[in-house]
A and B are shown apart, each in its own frame.
Chain A
Amino acid sequence: MKTLPLQPSPRSLVAGAGGWRGPGRVGMALLALAVLLALYPAYGATLFPAQHDFIMEKLVTMMILAIFAMSLDLLVGVGGMVSLGHAAFFGLGGYALALTAPEYEAASVWLTLPAALGISAAAALVIGALSIRTSGIYFIMITLAFGQMFFYVFNDSSFAGGSDGTYIYFRPTAELFGVQVVDLESPLTFFYVVFGAMLGTYALLRVLLASPFGRVLRGIGINPQRVRGVGYNPDAYRLVAFVIGAMLAGLAGFLSASQYGFVNPSMLSWHHSGTVLVMVILGGLGTLHGAILGAFALELLHVIIEPLTEHWLLVLGGLIILMVLVLPRGLAGLLEGLNRLGRRRETGGGADDDD
C-alpha cells in the first residue's frame, strides 16, 4: 500500500487501510472466541447442565443482535451516518414474517425471508432518499423521526395487533422440492443457522468493505467533500450502504421474530435503536468485529445484571455515560491498545509495525 497511483483509485482514499495482513494477535483471540461459540452446543450441556437451554437461547439472541449491530456499524462506523432509526428496519423484518406467515402452518423461508429483506430495503430506499440529502445532526433527527413513524404505524393501527403485537405460531420451514432442508424448530439447528447468518453477514461486509465500493464508503465516512472532489457521488454510495444496512437489520429482525415467535412495536422503538447504537460504540466503530463484541458484551451484562436489580436501566445508563467519557474507541480500541502495549513490551519499546 505504499504505491501512489496516478489516478485516484478508491483504495488511495483511505490512508493506511491496507490490504490483507493475516490475523494478528487480536484476530487470533477473536477467532478463538468464535470457535468457542461455535462449539458451545457440544460442551455446554456438560458445563452448565441446569442452564444449558437458557444459555443456548441467550447466545442465539446475542448473535442476532450482533448481526443487527454490524448492519448499523456499516452506516455509522463506515459511512459516517449516525442513524437513530435503525430499529425500524429490524422491526419491519420481524413484522414481514408475522404478516406473511399463515396462521395454522409454518411459513416458507423462501417466501418470508425475501419479503422481510424486500420490505426493509424498500423502506430504507424511501427514508434514505429523504434523509441522505442532509448530514450530521439533521440526519440523526430525521432518522429518529422516521423510525418513530414506523413505530406508530404498528403501535396505533389494528392490523398487526397494535401495541400488543402478534404471535407467530410456527418457525418458518426451509423446504427444497418438498423435502425439509433444515428444521428450525430444533434449537440446535436454529443455533447454527443463526451462527451461519452472523458469519455470513460478517464475511459479506468484510468483502464489501474491501471492495472499491467499501473504500469509497469509508472515505465518505471520513471526509465526504474530499471524496466528492475526487469525482465520486457520496449520496449514491450512502444510499446503497443505507439500503444494505437496512436489509441486514431486516434479516436480524426476521431471525428474532422466528426465535421468539412474537413481534411487537417495541422492536421498532427508538430505545431499541439507541441500544444497538450503544453496542456498536461499545464494541468500537467501523471494525465489524467490534459490533459483534459490543452486542455480546452488552447483552451479557444485561443477562447478568437484570436478575440482580430491578434498576438495570440505571446501571446501563451510567455505563453508557462512563463509556463515552473513558472509552471513546470502544472494546475493539481497548483490544488494539492492549495488543500494542504487549507488542511494545516484546520489542523493547519499538514503534508500531502496523504499516
Chain B
Amino acid sequence: MDPTFFLIQVLNGLQYGLLLFLIASGLTLIFGIMGVINLAHGAFYMVGAWLVWWFAGQFDSFLLGMLAALVLAAALGWVIERTLITVLYEREHLDQVVLTYGLILVLNELQRILFGTDVQGVPVPEQVQGSLRLTENLTYPVYRLMLAGICLLVAVAMYLVIQRTRLGMWIRASAANREVAATLGINVRSLNALVFAAGTALAAFAGMIAAPISSVYPGMGDSIIVISFVVVVIGGIGSVKGAFLGALAIGLADTFGRVLLPEFSSFLVYALMAAVLLWRPTGLFARA
C-alpha cells in the first residue's frame, strides 16, 4: 500500500472513530450514571442529522441551523428523561431495552412523517469547503479535518468537565454509587436529566457534523447504535476513556477493513470485539 493512501485511510479511520466517540461516550455515561441501557441513543444521532438538514435549510446557514438543532435535541433529551427514562431507573434491563426500542420506532416514524423518506444531503459550509495540501501528493478535505478537530475538542472538554469541575465530581460520585451520592446531598434527579440531555445532545451533534459527509436518510441511527455498542463493550461499560480508545480502534479497523477486505469489513469489527472479549470479558477499562 502506498504511504499516501495509507495516511488518508488513517485520517479517515481516526475521524470516523472520533465521531463514534461522541455517540459512545454518551451511551457509556448514561449507563454508568443511571444504569440505563439506551437503545434509542442511535436514534438521537438520526434526529440530529435531520434537524440540522431542516434548520440549515430554513436559516440558510449551517452554523445557525446547528445551534437551533442542538437546543432542540437537548430539550428532547430532557423531556424523554423526565417522562420515560425516569420510570426505568427502578426497572430491569429487559424493560429498559424494550421501552427504548419502542422509542426508536416512534422517533424513526416521526422523522418519516415530518421530513419524508427521501435521502437528503447537507452541503459542506462554504467557509470550510475545499481541500488542504498535507504533503506533496496528499490533499485532504478541510471539513473532515475540522470535524476530527471538533470531536477532539469535545473529548478534551468532556475530560475537563468530568475531572476538574464540581459538576464532574457529582457525575463521578453518582456513577460510583448512586445511593451514597444522593445521601451526600447531590440532586441525583436533576443530574440524571442533565446527563441524559447532554448525552442526547452529543449524539445529535455527532449526527449534525456527520451530515455533510454522509447523507441524511431514514433509519440512519439503526446501524450506528450497534457499532456504538461494540465500542462500549470493547472499552468497558461506564468508562469514558475506554469509549475513546474503543472508538478509535473500531474507527481504524472499520476503515481499513473496507479498503483491504471489502467483503468482510463489517465482520472485522465484530471479530475485534470477540478477540477483546476472549481476552477481557468485561472490556478494556471495566470498573470493578
Q: Which residues of A contact B (CB under 8 A)?
A: 76, 82, 84, 130-131, 133-134, 136-138, 140-142, 144-146, 148-149, 152-153, 155-158, 270-271, 274, 277-278, 281, 285, 311, 313-314, 316-321, 323-325, 328
User: A82 to B94, Cβ gap below 8 A?
Assistant: yes
Q: Mark B97-112, 1 if CB is under 8 A from A, else 0.
A: 1110111111111101
- Pick the residue among A157, A277, A285, A323 that contacts B263 (CB under 8 A): A157
Q: Which residue of B lies closest to A328 (CB)?
A: B95
User: B282 to A134, Cβ gap below 8 A?
Assistant: yes
Q: Which residue of B lies closest to A322 (CB)?
A: B102
Q: Choose, from B69-77, B187-195, B222-230, the stretch at the interface.
A: B222-230
Q: Which residue of B lies closest to A282 (CB)?
A: B98
B50 nearest CB across to chain A (Å): 16
- Pick the residue among B103, B222, B230 that contacts A271 (CB under 8 A): B222
Shortest beta-carbon contacts, A-B, top 10? A320-B102, A317-B105, A152-B266, A317-B106, A314-B109, A149-B270, A324-B99, A321-B102, A141-B229, A317-B102
Cα–Cα distance between A296 and B263 once the two chains are bound (Å): 38
Known contacts A136-B93, A145-B273: does B281 contact A278 (CB below 8 Å)? no
Tally of B interface residues using CB under 8 Å = 44
Cα–Cα distance between A231 and B87 once the two chains are bound (Å): 37
- Pick the residue among A130, A285, A321 that contacts B274 (CB under 8 A): A130
Residues in A with CB closer than 8 Å to B98 are 274, 277-278, 281, 320, 323-324
DSSP class of B's interface residues: helix, strand, loop or mixed?
Answer: helix
Cα–Cα distance between A138 and B277 once the two chains are bound (Å): 10
DSSP class of A's interface residues: helix, strand, loop or mixed?
Answer: helix
Cα–Cα distance between A2 and B89 once the two chains are bound (Å): 37
User: A321 to B94, Cβ gap below 8 A?
Assistant: no
Cα–Cα distance between A138 and B265 once the two chains are bound (Å): 23
- Pick the residue among A82, A142, A153, A319 that contacts B277 (CB under 8 A): A142
Cα–Cα distance between A319 and B97 once the two chains are bound (Å): 14
User: B266 to A316, Cβ gap below 8 A?
Assistant: no
User: B97 to A82, Cβ gap below 8 A?
Assistant: yes
Known contacts A313-B109, A317-B104, A321-B84: does B97 contact A277 (CB below 8 Å)? yes
B34 nearest CB across to chain A (Å): 12
Q: Which residues of B contact A (CB under 8 A)?
A: 31, 37, 39, 84, 87, 91, 93-95, 97-99, 101-110, 112-113, 222-223, 226, 229-230, 232-233, 237, 263-267, 270, 273-274, 277-278, 281-282
Residues in A with CB closer than 8 Å to B97 are 82, 84, 140, 277
Residues in B with CB closer than 8 Å to A137 are 31, 37, 93, 237
User: Can you offer 11 A-B residue contacts whose CB atoms are under 8 A?
Assistant: A82-B94, A130-B278, A146-B270, A274-B101, A277-B98, A317-B107, A320-B101, A321-B84, A321-B106, A324-B95, A324-B102
A333 nearest CB across to chain B (Å): 13
A275 nearest CB across to chain B (Å): 9
Residues in A with CB closer than 8 Å to B94 are 76, 82, 281, 285
Residues in B with CB closer than 8 Å to A76 are 94
Cα–Cα distance between A314 and B112 once the two chains are bound (Å): 10
